[in-house]
Chains A and B, each alone.
Chain A
Amino acid sequence: EDKVVQSPLSLVVHEGDTVTLNCSYEVTNFRSLLWYKQEKKAPTFLFMLTSSGIEKKSGRLSSILDKKELFSILNITATQTGDSAIYLCAVRNTGGFKTIFGAGTRLFVKA
């Protein structure tokens, strides 16, 4: 059965800290891995990863994929209170078009 597991489930840090969020997956015919940020209701797209070892970067956020070990990490440096959110990892396979989401990591950044 295809699945996506995220860890930790929740995390509390102080402003300025660096955090690493983990996502491991098992999926047949992997196509892509996506990271989303969910602050209220609507998840917003962060990154899409399809190739191993190529880091995607956007400001203080970066992500990388390891297709051999079947995981991805999302790094956030110099965290700010506005980074507080649920971070969702999702995997898509070829053929079928289901997108399988993990349960998310709830990040809380204290001022």
Chain B
Amino acid sequence: GAGVSQSPSNKVTEKGKDVELRCDPISGHTALYWYRQSLGQGLEFLIYFQGNSAPDKSGLPSDRFSAERTGGSVSTLTIQRTQQEDSAVYLCASSLTLGTDTQYFGPGTRLTVL
């Protein structure tokens, strides 16, 4: 596609439920990144993928968070047993390669945990 797309754009869930957030990177981009932006805060790095591989998962806030990428394209960020502090905008970005510094961001998913 022309740009990075994410779905859903907004998600409201109840505490304790699981949620899945989806990211479609720019076609041909091998590197994909997930960030979280809480209200009034900068972007917090969560995880990156090179192809389908995520070499460094240390940025994930807890073991309730997981991410996968299949076919070198679409990625899913899953949050299990959501907590209110998980409420944030989750942004996905992609770049041509991992060595390319310019990242193109999607519109984000606003997650609200009640």
- Residue numbers of A with Cβ under 8 A of B are 4, 6, 31-32, 34, 36, 40-45, 48, 88, 90, 92, 96-104
Question: Complex Cα distance A16/B78, Å?
Answer: 45
Q: CB within 8 A of B42: which of A42, A48, A102? A: A102
Interface of A is mostly: strand
Interface residues on B, range: 20 to 34
Instruction: Check B102 against A43 for contact (C-beta < 8 Å).
Output: no
Known contacts A42-B91, A45-B103; decide if A98 and B108 are in contact (CB<8 Å).
no
Instruction: Check A101 against B45 for contact (C-beta < 8 Å).
Output: yes
Question: Complex Cα distance A98/B49, Å?
Answer: 11
A-B contact pairs, 11 of them (CB 8 A): A6-B42, A32-B101, A42-B91, A42-B105, A48-B102, A96-B56, A97-B48, A99-B33, A101-B35, A101-B45, A102-B42
Q: What distance in Å separates the Cβ of B55 from its nearest Cβ neighbour in chain A?
A: 8
Instruction: Check A43 against B105 for contact (C-beta < 8 Å).
Output: yes
What 0/1 readout, one digit per residue, does chain B (71-114) give for beta carbons within 8 Å of chain A?
Answer: 00000000000000000010100000010011111111010000
Instruction: Check A45 against B42 for contact (C-beta < 8 Å).
Output: no
Instruction: Check A42 against B107 for contact (C-beta < 8 Å).
Output: yes
- Residue numbers of B with Cβ under 8 A of A are 4, 31, 33, 35, 40-45, 48, 50, 56, 59, 89, 91, 98, 101-108, 110
Instruction: Check A97 against B98 for contact (C-beta < 8 Å).
Output: yes
Question: Complex Cα distance A1/B107, Å?
Answer: 29
For A88, what are the chain B residues with a Cβ–Cβ distance below 8 Å? 42-43
Q: What distance in Å separates the Cβ of B90 from its nearest Cβ neighbour in chain A?
A: 10
Q: What distance in Å separates the Cβ of B98 from its nearest Cβ neighbour in chain A?
A: 5
**Closest chain A residue, CB of each to CB of B35:** A101
Question: Complex Cα distance A48/B44, Å?
Answer: 19
Q: What distance in Å separates the Cβ of B31 from its nearest Cβ neighbour in chain A?
A: 8
Instruction: Check B103 against A100 for contact (C-beta < 8 Å).
Output: no
Question: Complex Cα distance A13/B38, Å?
Answer: 26
